Structure 1
Amino acid sequence: MFGAWKYAGLALLAAVPVGCQRAEANRGAQVAAKVNGAEILVRQVNTAGGATGAQALEKIIDRELLAQKALAAGLDRDPAVAQAIDHARRQVLAQAWIERAAGAAAKPSAEEIRAFYHENEALFARRRIYRLQELVVSSPAGMLEVLRAEAGRASSLEQVAAWLRARSAEFREVAVTQPAEQLPLRYLPQLARMKAGDMAVLPSPLGASVVQLVHAQEAPLTEQQAAPLIEQFLEGRKRLETAAAEVRRLREVASIEYMGEFRTGK
């Protein structure tokens, strides 16, 4: 009996250092590098992006060296740097809360996916790959209708470009080839109706874009092919809607007081 306890005790004693060694080994396996004693973890490398893990690690090492030098010089106590650090910290915290709040968004149902497929034929059943010539025009909003009228009279995009040059309008010419899903959703119905040579004038962040369709290649997607893409899109949209609703809710219950020049109109 005592012998059995003795050997059991030896087994337990033997297991303790082995367990410690394994824990240390596992911890060491998580460390990708040490920079002046500061550990860089494998998960940091994995989430850093980059072409390869090795390249990502080298970038992190460079950043760590610079950060250590900045800390040694006391730059973290510089008011501007401290403010930037606090801003970055709050950005991370805000994003973390948004992700938590939006994480509970329900997945789209099969009916929602099917409805989206049939409501957006230009994206799926009538999907095309568009080759476009475009004039990106920097213009005031009031010029949009004038530009539309001129494009309606012109027989080519070059005529529109000549008209813009004559008026010293700022614009640049670009050529793009893009599938339907990479184009603004609100313009797809109009583009889907266009034939080669047709032109359209569309609002853009800079002012307007005069677009001429050079060629369109049919590339439809079946409902089965499109379902994973639609599910991902609808889920992302629901997450954004949930996040926006959370921000509105927080504003409603918060005490927000605008000061100084920002008080005007509030």
Structure 2
Amino acid sequence: MIKSRAPLLAVLAAAALLAACGGDKGDKASQTAAKVNKEEITVHQINFVLQRQPGLKPEQAEAASRQVLERLIDQELAVQKAQEQKLDRDPRVVQQIEAAKREIIARAYVDRVGETVSKPTNEEIAKYYAEKPALFKDRRIYSLQELQIEAKPDQFEAIRAKLSAAKTVNEFAEALKAADFRFSGNQAVRAAEQLPLASLDAIAKMKDGDSVISPNPNGLTVLFLVGSRSQPVDEARARPAIEAFLLNQRKAEAVQKDLKALRDSSKIEYVGKFAEAAPGAASAPAAIESTAPSAPAPAAAPAPAASGLDPASISKGMGLK
């Protein structure tokens, strides 16, 4: 029963939020898009949904509006039926709506703080460009192959010796098999901005055919640079991404500074088991931290470390491919 009602609970929460953003009563009378029994769906509600779909082209707006309207009609029918069954009073539904409301209000606060931050200057953008040659002037597209090897510390030297003796990835893999080492591998082609910023400089220094080895919780990770090709980006092309990244960084810092001031001036008391290992007042809660506005970053967007080239977790970076 709980599983079957989960999608409906989400619909209820979303519907409540849309209703709150639909405009005033007088405006609705002249902006009605459809009537569902005694309830109205307005153009404001449709526009609110469309605004949350980035990249929508003007010529697609009409068709998208009609699709959104049909979804809102289905949503309204579900809401009406749920209210008839008094599901809007279900404690779980009320809790979800309240949580969504708090998230929206907290995000509005973060956006307001971010609005006070100044944009980076041309000099700051040029400085960032010059300080990150691996991202821009000397940017490369990397073909990487990785092996995760299960091993104990006393076996590390033997594995390093096999790596030194091998001329290719396949030759090294065969040597591991012959020695009964268990391992898994994956490969990916990544642009410089899609690699973790902390690892980029080290990878940029590698030549085609080089490898690096590092420990992991279960043994060793070996990263091979199978090949690469140069694809530099000039400052003019990189400027929008750099500006967005630096601005987003400033917003995050401003939010953290403001939250710290709020914590310092507020009385926060941890109770029960939470009092046993209460965090310091200087650290902001992760839930609020996650609401910080994000912007396209040239390199610092979340991406897997060199020990995990998971395509699902690699961001698109600047989209310069």
Distance 1:79 1:32, change over 3 A: same
The residue that corresponds to 1:115 in the other structure is: 127
The residue that corresponds to 1:49 in the other structure is: 53
TM-score (norm 2): 0.62
Counterpart-to-counterpart distance in 2, 1:185 and 1:191: 10
Distance 1:198 1:257, change over 3 A: same
Q: CA deviation at 1:59?
A: 3.4
Counterpart amino acid of residue 122 in structure 1: A
Looking at secondary structure, tell me which structure has more helix per residue: 1
Gaps of 5+ in 1: 1-25
Tell which structure's C-alpha radius of gyration is larger: 1
Counterpart-to-counterpart distance in 2, 1:218 and 1:248: 44
Distance 1:259 1:195, change over 3 A: same
Counterpart-to-counterpart distance in 1, 2:53 and 2:230: 35
Counterpart-to-counterpart distance in 1, 2:173 and 2:189: 21
Q: Describe the SS at the equivalent of 1:131.
A: strand
The residue that corresponds to 1:35 in the other structure is: 36
The residue correspondences of 1:138-157 to structure 2 (distance < 5 A) are 146=156, 149=160, 152-153=163-164, 154-157=166-169
Distance 1:150 1:254, change over 3 A: farther
The residue that corresponds to 2:89 in the other structure is: 77
Counterpart amino acid of residue 38 in structure 1: E
Q: CA RMSD in A?
A: 3.6
Counterpart-to-counterpart distance in 2, 1:178 and 1:43: 37
The residue that corresponds to 1:231 in the other structure is: 243
The residue correspondences of 1:103-252 to structure 2 (distance < 5 A) are 103-135=115-147, 137=148, 146=156, 149=160, 152-153=163-164, 154-158=166-170, 159-160=172-173, 163=176, 166-168=180-182, 171=184, 173-201=185-213, 210-252=222-264
The count of residues paired between Structure 1 and Structure 2 equals 238
* Residue from 96, 107, 113 that aligns with 2:108: 96
- Do the aligned partners of 1:130 and 1:180 also contact (CA within 8 Å) in 2? yes
Gaps of 5+ in 2: 1-26, 279-321
The residue that corresponds to 1:8 in the other structure is: none
- Do the aligned partners of 2:140 and 2:232 also contact (CA within 8 Å) in 1? yes
Q: CA deviation at 1:151?
A: 7.8
- Do the aligned partners of 2:41 and 2:73 also contact (CA within 8 Å) in 1? no
Counterpart-to-counterpart distance in 1, 2:247 and 2:162: 39
Q: Describe the SS at the equivalent of 1:197.
A: coil
1:138-183 Cα shifts (integer Å, max 9, x gaps) = 979x97x9499478535443435874894445x4x33322221121
* Residue from 58, 64, 67 that aligns with 2:76: 64
- Do the aligned partners of 2:117 and 2:251 also contact (CA within 8 Å) in 1? yes
Distance 1:203 1:89, change over 3 A: farther
- Do the aligned partners of 1:133 and 1:211 also contact (CA within 8 Å) in 2? yes
Q: Describe the SS at the equivalent of 2:49.
A: helix
Q: CA deviation at 1:34?
A: 3.8
Q: CA deviation at 1:228?
A: 1.8
Counterpart-to-counterpart distance in 2, 1:132 and 1:114: 30
Counterpart amino acid of residue 123 in structure 2: E
Counterpart-to-counterpart distance in 2, 1:134 and 1:29: 61
1:86 counterpart = 2:98 = yes
- Do the aligned partners of 1:48 and 1:56 also contact (CA within 8 Å) in 2? no
1:27-47 Cα shifts (integer Å, max 9, x gaps) = 677544443323142322312
Distance 1:245 1:68, change over 3 A: farther
Q: Describe the SS at the equivalent of 1:39.
A: strand
